[in-house]
Amino acid sequence: MPDPQRPGPAATGPGPCLVAERGPLSRAVSDALRSGDAPVYETASVSRADPWGEDLQLALYLLYELHYRGFDGVADALEWDPELLRLRAALEARFLDALRTELSDAPRTVEDAFAPLLVEPVDLSGSLSHHLETDGELWQLREYAALRSLYHLKEADPHAWVIPRLTGRAKAAMVAIEYDEFGAGHADRIHARLFADLMTDLGLDTSYGRYLEHAPAPLLATVNLMSLLGLHRALRGALVGHFACVEVTSSPGSRRLARAMRRCAAGAAAEHFYAEHVEADAVHEQVVRHEVIGGLLADEPALEADIAFGCAATVLTEDRLAHHIRQAWEQGRSALREPLPHTGG
């Protein structure tokens, strides 16, 4: 029987549509969002779930999206529903435990965590951006963009949650970088807008969340990691580590992807998105390492291990995604759960 104290379904709204469930946990979340009732699931199903699997990662993604733009037809009040938050906490604990287990031997200092990232590898054979630069085809660029759209259409939003949790140098530097990410006062320069322009060049739908149904668990894990770290003040150091890792590694990869877009004649906007990141993120790298991390460590030196963890977790999830994509492409199949429709481009 519906609980009269719980919010019921909302009228149709501007958010993305819910997608088909991938198991009992994502089914419980989807049903609860559609009905406004409490999620129905077995507690043991959380501990049995694969923390890297489709079901748990989709369930987490759906719950996290309530803190961004929500979903079409889902009540805004469900963002803070206690039963959904209780389920989210259990799923987060499962995911965090898996991350910490995988990273049990990871560096514990900022210097050890970031040192390998500051040197361009001699062997780029395993690099996804290198593959796209040298051998990638247009259909692969379209798949890559469709997958990345789940983050890039809200680029920098998860990291903005850390701003009120910082002070002094760290806060000032973080705001300066985010100001650039959000277009420096110009709506047409917001990085999410630039990525939408890239998608238009590639013949993709620019609707927020449009390609969720196509996204496999390894992609969802990369986006969920940002939301997990951003929504918990206790993980603020790890979120800074994540942000710094992204900025440190962005410029070389963006340079390769800009060349890939040019080689495949993807379009001026497609090339511009990555060309913009080559220059901007080269500057951001220095600011985030010296001012954001440096300022945070000056204020809270006990967070160093958390910063290192955030960096290592970013590398881990990105490596898992790259492996998934490369394996699929090497086998001549789509890296998406279902291939994109052919546009004739």
d(CA 37, CA 226) in angstroms, rounded, equals 28
Q: Which amino acid, residue 328?
A: A
* 3-class SS letters over 177-228: HHHHHCHHHCHHHCHHHHHHHHHHHCCCCCCCCCCHHHCCHHHHHHHHHHHH
DSSP designation for 69 = T
- Helices 304-330 and 217-230 sit at what angle, rounded to 10 degrees? 160
Helix (H, G, I), strand (E, B) or coil at 272: helix
DSSP designation for 137 = -
| pLDDT in 10s for each residue of the chain, 345 residues | 445 455 554 444 578 999 999 999 999 999 999 999 999 999 999 999 999 999 999 999 999 999 999 999 999 999 999 999 999 999 999 999 999 999 999 999 999 999 999 887 767 777 899 999 999 999 999 999 999 999 999 999 999 999 999 999 999 999 999 999 999 999 999 999 999 999 999 999 999 999 999 999 999 999 999 999 999 999 999 999 999 999 999 889 999 999 999 999 999 999 999 998 887 777 888 899 999 999 999 999 999 999 999 999 999 999 999 999 999 999 999 999 999 987 544
Taking alpha carbons only, the member of 191, 165, 177, 182 closest to residue 290 is 177
DSSP designation for 204 = -
What angle (nearest 5°) sits at the alpha carbon of residue 96, between those of residues 90 and 55?
60
Q: Return all residues near 234 (Cβ < 8 A) that are at least 6 apart.
A: none
Domains contained in the chain, CATH given? 24-102 (no CATH), 110-330 (1.20.910.10)
d(CA 29, CA 32) in angstroms, rounded, equals 5
Give the predicted TM-score (pTM) of the model: 0.94
Tally the residues of the chain.
Answer: 345
